[in-house]
Structure 1
């Protein structure tokens, strides 16, 4: 029987939640906790979590002057990765992972706004095994990023 995971979610805005990912977590008996960065954030002890999901948001990773918690969040993400916690970034979350691992985050040539397909690149990853090979997702991106060394691009 697979190990049950303690999964922690970093949520940047109240209107961007985990959606069907939360259903998968709970349906598979894993535990789920949150740091709601928009609401007096506190970060858990890293020993209490196995995996980290870092959600999206309308801010940039460069907006530390406006969002004071970004600096602490980056330190938390970097520490989690250094302690070999699984980390999945979605949108802004991917940019944060790239940044803390030495990648670059920079403006897209044009904004991606609307419904566009994404393709699953790693069907051997357990969490993606039942996903379709490609499916439409709503995008709202002004920035993009490089994939850091030793990171795995899932989609």
Structure 2
């Protein structure tokens, strides 16, 4: 059975709707808790897919959160092997940092459901369904420069680098395709302090949540169908 390794930073920011799609595609999901598990002993080579999930810390805060240094080393090994790697929000920022790009606090928080503008490359990529202006969940306050070898796939007015790819099997998403109305309540509780500080209306977040996340699962399914790279990884 194929395996997906999901590196998680907070319990409620999990694979969300992606988990069922991985299962339908024949993948066994294993979670690793980045703050508490021994990342130095983790086999980053064996899994068919690695997903680096989101979290409420900065990709540049390894002085405060030393486990990030080990996580960055894992990502570097995975990138060098050119094996399937998906980064979501913090995960995308960590991939960008490992790839030599600057990650830094954004001028504004972007929290809420909204669309993204696809680039020409993005419209031809796995993100093509989003050209219909379908809603995704934005929940970030940090930004990053585009890695040198990456293709920009999507933007918003506040954050120009919303999605990027590095080759066919590395995908970074600043937004949360995996989130849905069903999983949103955990986010509202887990990020209650941040929402209150930012003056975000949680009723609006509930009201604007899309009824269906079928397009997000379609995007993941298309990405999983891309040819796999099986380079050595050590």
Distance, in Å, in 2 between the alignment partners of 1:46 and 1:94 is 17
Q: What SS does structure 2 have at the residue aligned with 1:18?
A: coil
Structure 1 match to 2:134: 135
In structure 2, list runs of 5 or more residues that go unmatched.
152-163, 166-172, 174-234
Distance, in Å, in 1 between the alignment partners of 2:140 and 2:45 is 33
Distance, in Å, in 2 between the alignment partners of 1:45 and 1:19 is 24
Distance, in Å, in 1 between the alignment partners of 2:20 and 2:45 is 24
Distance, in Å, in 2 between the alignment partners of 1:122 and 1:150 is 19
Structure 1 match to 2:73: 75
Question: Residue 115 of structure 2 contacts residue 130 of structure 2 at CA under 8 Å; is this kept in 1?
Answer: no
Cα distance, 1:132–1:113 mapped onto 2, change above 3 Å = closer
Map 1:10-29 onto structure 2 (within 5 A): 10-29=7-26
Map 1:119-134 onto structure 2 (within 5 A): 121-122=122-123, 124-125=125-126, 131-133=129-131, 134=133
Distance, in Å, in 1 between the alignment partners of 2:100 and 2:22 is 30
Distance, in Å, in 2 between the alignment partners of 1:122 and 1:44 is 36
Cα distance, 1:122–1:45 mapped onto 2, change above 3 Å = farther
Map 1:37-116 onto structure 2 (within 5 A): 37-42=34-39, 44-116=42-114
Deviation at 1:73, TM superposition (A): 0.2
In structure 1, list runs of 5 or more residues that go unmatched.
none
1:35 aligns with 2:32: yes
What is the TM-score of this pair, normalised by structure 1?
0.83
Distance, in Å, in 1 between the alignment partners of 2:32 and 2:68 is 12
What is the TM-score of this pair, normalised by structure 2?
0.57
What's the C-alpha RMSD, in Å, of the aligned pairs?
2.2
Pick the structure with greater CA Rg: 2
Q: What SS does structure 1 have at the residue aligned with 2:116?
A: strand
Q: What SS does structure 2 have at the residue aligned with 1:99?
A: helix
Deviation at 1:119, TM superposition (A): 5.2
